[in-house]
Chain A
Amino acid sequence: MTRNSRLKDHHAEQRMFGRRVVAASFVIMVLLGALFARLFYLQVVKYDYFSELSQGNRIRIEPIPPPRGLLLDRAGEPLALNRPAYQLELTREQTPDVDDTLARLVALGLLPAEDVVRTRRAIMARRAFDAVPVRLQLAEEELARFAVHRPDFPGVEIRPRLTRLYPHAGVGVHALGYVAAISEQDQERIDVSKYAGTTLIGKLGIERNYEELLHGETGYQQLLVNAQGRRVDRVGVTAPDLQRKEPIAGNDLYLTIDHRLQQVAETALGTQRAAVVAIDPRNGDVLAFVSTPTFDPNGFARGLTVPEYRALADNLDKPLIDRALRGVYPPGSTIKPFVALAALQYGVMAAEDTHYCRGVWQFPNSSRKFRDWKKQGHGTVDMHKAIAQSCDTYFYGVSDKIGIDRLHDFLVRFGFNGKTGIDVLGERSGLVPSQAWKKKAFKKKELQVWFPGETVIAGIGQGYMLTTPLQLAHATATLAMRGKGFQPRLVRAVRDSRTGAVATLPPHPLPDVKVDDPRHWDTIINGMIGVVNPGGTAVRVQAGAPYKVAGKTGTAQVFSIGQNEKYNESQVSERLRDHALFIAFAPVDDPKIAIAVLVENGRHGGSTAGPIARAVFDAYLLPREAAQAAVPTTPPAAPPAGGMDE
């Protein structure tokens, strides 16, 4: 039978078709068997394995950063708040290519090109699953721009976060400090896991020093996430095991700072390079802590661009330097009341002993002349007049009689040599020289010798002697309290965020400065009263004031800040002028405030620094109504829940 001539055999075809269908059924059963075997393998044999994989897929733990504690002034006026802002954050784990992503963010104009390296370092320093801020505060328009391109940026998200707001901008910035993005270096001093989700950290001042109290405790929440790591909310998913732990807000701090006073002092200083520290002598509370020029700390919380930062750092007036805490200056004549007290204590000079001032002072048999600031001399002076008129020759003789080592030992008790121990980091030590100090300080043998002339100029606060405005204010406060000193502090109470209770921190009393005869104090203080009264060097400070002031002027030769700096030629002369100093306290009979004022290149303590002290005194001591006319204050936003002592 040839194939071509075949006829259709329907029955044969049907039979064959039947056989084929049977074969096909067989094949289908085999394939189904294979499929079943595969499903059995996946769902029964490997069930545990895949079950665990699917669990890991769906839940992610996301940290909830705690709201940072607030900073309030002593009356409750908020000085540092939290404000919601939109942050652009990058999670390394979810970003396929960090470098490419950053480059594309730059191209979109969402990241300054010069910040790429720094941002990348910060990202790499954090754990792969931590969200690291790329930009701290996005503007509306930037939000919109990113939203459009969001699908192109896996791992990059906009998150609402609390950022820091300093409502008064630069006022008090050197006391408050500021917060900024956690840097690579910060990583080393913090427990990274406690800062998961937190993007800002205290860098300076109170923000830095009280970081642990302010930060709070990070909470977390378990999130259902989809494959892109984005959060999903599904009603249909039974997820009873999703946990959430609320963060615990940081504690609020009540500062010792009186915001109104701070503002008055800063306004009075204007554009000068200066520092003012006002202390309540009764407990060491720092009422005003000023260093000018100031700068706006909000910029740091927002993230400064490189040029913005350079502009601040390169500013000739050095706004970033805390002059009150870290500026060391010769105390000049402001040291004289303390030297006089030493003279009384050591018995080298009685209050009524007189000295004839002819404008110069010489060692016996020496041709070297130590000049008085008043060329023609003060004539006959006793201790009262010597302080009131700031007679240099009187103190040359006095310090020569005391001797440098005894002078050193006495001044140390007022905290002049070393630090006050105030509750912010970075305080610089003052220096009161001694023979032992000089031996240590100099390597060369011939330089280690102490010269009597060095003792003499130490008596008027020149030479090696250095102090910070803070130390000067602290010493003045101690003097005002007749030897009873307290460690200066910037925080007076802590409000526990959990209980709401306000715990007032007890003042830190320091060992009393004791003198043999309490009347010595009267002698010195009377001399200081003379300073601000007719015949004294700062008459304007007392004139017309209803309270009684005791003070001392000072003038210091330019020495410390910027000594090594390259000055703009035209400004050299201005910046080589003497620094003006003034210390004072009031009211004399019941001291409530002690102050140290320093104005760089301000020339005269009495005329430049004195009026600033007066403005602060007025603001603090006069009835509110009188002072309020000048500086309006806001009523406390968050009154303390517990009792606070005034």
Chain B
Amino acid sequence: MRTEIAGPGHSSRAQRTFTLTGRLLDALHIDGPLLLSVLAVCAVGLIVLYSAAGEDVRIFLGQAARVGLGLGVLTIVAQIPPRVMRIGAPFLYGLGLLLLIAVALVGDVAMGAQRWLDLGFIRFQPSEIMKIAVPLCCAWYLHQRPLPPDFTTLVIVALIVLVPTLLIAEQPDLGTALLVTAGGGLVILLAGLQLRYILGLGAVIAAAIPVVWKFLLHDYQRQRVLTFLNPQNDPLGAGYHTIQSQIAIGSGGIFGKGFMNGSQAQLEFLPERSTDFIFAVIGEEWGLVGCIVLMALYLLVIGRGLYIATQAQDSFTRLTAGSLTLLFSVYAFVNSGMVAGLLPVVGVPLPLVSYGGTSLVTLMAGFGILMAVHSRRKLVST
């Protein structure tokens, strides 16, 4: 009875609200499902961070503000028409390259690496720009060529990827270099790189590993890989991170120790618990269930991103959207794999969850691009 009376009124009001919101989002070129799933991950991140940072309200609020800033960046980027992005891509890339060179020459040294550029009012890492600029530039270049790309095209794209990668690796920042390479590589893969090239590249990489190991990697990087292979070798030194994070995750069990009850995290056994190793806090305090929830939320983001990519109507937007989405999944997997002991320790934060503004803003900008792509597709195909 009551439902019959209340039902229609309620549903119509709800519908109106829904429609209103929908219209607002449309006007702002924002994709509702993607925004929701991204916000869900951010919310999980903030909850976990509150615990990981030892209930430090300042850190919590600071990160919440960064999420807000990220949303602002997302909204702004979403207003840029993809056409403008395509034209601007090489310029953004060039700017990033110049900044990277500037960092190499005059950058700030922090924690043994020269990554930061101090502009007086703000300190930032130009390598972050490259996480977006490289896929954009690759997509811009491939957009004009017939796909799958031919060999010459591949060489040029490879150069676009490798120049900033080497500059970043030299800082040294292996994690970001890896992500930049992955960003470019994903564009090439999505562009339809033939199987023989993939296999050939695999062979080249296999051959290059010893060379990279010997000449390109820094001591601490080599140590990380060695320690990954056998963490017990150096339980209080390089293997400490891995061992403690595995203890944290393992002791969480299926349901976890409960919010703010993770002894590994709360008692500071777990290093970098609010940044790179925050996944271990989730594993410890929320257990396997918490990990699965987070993975499911990531899957929502990735799924929506890939859907947007498949709906895109030209090579540039398709490749950009696809590669940025897959880059996001690489991000997530590399970090959680590293914390769970599947991969060696590289400085890659857990996307949208780890404490820190730089990667968050970059990711949000990426989602902004996805939304710009999605909201501007024409209803009829060309």
Task: Point out residues on A near B: beta carbons under 8 Å.
Answer: 3-4, 6-10, 13-14, 16-18, 20-21, 24-25, 28, 31-32, 34-36, 38-40, 42-44, 46-47, 49-51, 53-55, 57-58, 224-228, 232, 234-238
**Interchain Cβ contacts under 8 Å between A and B, 25 examples:** A17-B309, A21-B190, A21-B306, A21-B310, A24-B186, A28-B302, A28-B329, A32-B295, A36-B295, A40-B288, A42-B340, A43-B287, A50-B250, A54-B248, A54-B284, A57-B264, A224-B267, A226-B267, A227-B268, A227-B271, A228-B268, A234-B54, A236-B54, A236-B260, A238-B261
Instruction: Say which residue of B145, B250, B315, B319 sits within 8 Å of A42 (CB atoms).
Output: B250
Bound form: Cα–Cα A224–B264 in Å: 11
* Residue among A4, A34, A227 with max Cβ neighbours from chain B (10 Å): A227
Does B124 have its Cβ within 8 Å of any Cβ on chain A? no
A20 engages B189 (CB within 8 Å): yes
In the complex, which residues 286-344 of chain B have their Cβ closer than 8 Å to any Cβ of chain A? 287-288, 291-292, 295, 299, 302, 306, 309-310, 314-315, 318-319, 322, 326, 329, 333, 336-337, 340-342
Contacts of B246 in A (CB 8 A): 42, 50
| Chain B residues near A238 (CB-CB < 8 A) | 258, 261
**Residue among A7, A47, A54 making CB contact with B264, cutoff 8 Å:** A54
User: Is there an interface contact between A236 and B146, defined as CB atoms closer than 8 Å?
Assistant: no
In the bound complex, CA of A111 to CA of B17 (Å) = 75
Q: Is the CB of B263 within 8 A of A57?
A: yes
Determine the distance from Cα of A16 to Cα of B315 in the docked complex, in whole angstroms. Answer: 11
B147 near A51: Cβ-Cβ < 8 Å:
no
Q: Which B residues, 186 to 201, have Cβ-Cβ distances below 8 Å to chain A?
A: 186, 189-190, 192
Please tell me which one of the listed residues B146, B247, B333 contacts residue A6 in the complex, with CB atoms under 8 A apart.
Answer: B146
How far apart are the CA atoms of A28 and B295 in the complex, in Å? 11
- In the complex, besides A8-B315, A43-B287, 9 extra interface pairs with C-beta distance below 8 angstroms are A6-B146, A13-B147, A13-B318, A32-B299, A47-B250, A54-B248, A58-B263, A227-B268, A236-B51
Encode B255-277 as 1/0 by CB contact (under 8 A) with A.
Answer: 00010110110111101000000
* Residues of chain B within 8 A of A43, CB atoms compared: 249-250, 252-254, 283, 287-288, 291
- A54 to B243 CA separation, bound complex (whole angstroms): 11
**Which of chain A's residues has its CB closest to B189's CB?**
A20
B192 touches which of A20, A42, A47, A234 (Cβ 8 Å): A20
Distance (whole angstroms) from the CB of B194 to the closest CB of chain A = 11
Interface size on B, residues (CB 8 A): 58
Q: Does B55 contact A (CB under 8 A)?
A: yes
The 10 lowest CB-CB distance pairs between A and B, nearest first, are A50-B250, A226-B268, A54-B251, A236-B260, A6-B146, A42-B250, A50-B251, A58-B263, A227-B269, A51-B251
> When chains A and B are docked, how far (Å) is the Cα of A16 from the Cα of B55?
49
Residues of A within 8 A of B118 (CB): none
**Smallest Cβ distance from A238 to chain B, in angstroms?**
6
Q: Given the complex, which residues of A lie within 8 Å of B287, measured CB to CB?
A: 43
Q: Report A523 CB to chain B, min CB distance, Å.
A: 83
User: Is B227 part of the contact surface with A, judged by Cβ < 8 Å?
Assistant: no
Complex: A227 Cα to B277 Cα, angstroms = 15
Indicate the member of A25, A32, A49 with the most B CB atoms within 10 Å: A32
**A463 to B342, alpha carbons, bound, how many Å?**
90
Evaluate contact between B337 and A237: CB separation under 8 angstroms. Answer: no
| 0 or 1 for each of B25-41: is its CB under 8 Å from A? (1 = yes) | 00000000000000000
Residues of A within 8 A of B249 (CB): 39, 42-43, 50
- Is B261 a contact of A51 with CB atoms below 8 Å? no
Contact A237 B269 (CB under 8 A): no
Instruction: Bits for B203-231, please: 1 = Cβ < 8 Å to A, else 0.
Output: 00000000000000000000000000000
How far, in Å, is B52 (CB) from chain A's closest CB?
11
Contacts of A8 in B (CB 8 A): 145-147, 315
A10 CB contacts on chain B under 8 angstroms: 314-315, 382
In whole angstroms, what is the CA distance A14 to B309 when docked? 10
Residues of A near B310 (CB, < 8 A) are 17-18, 21
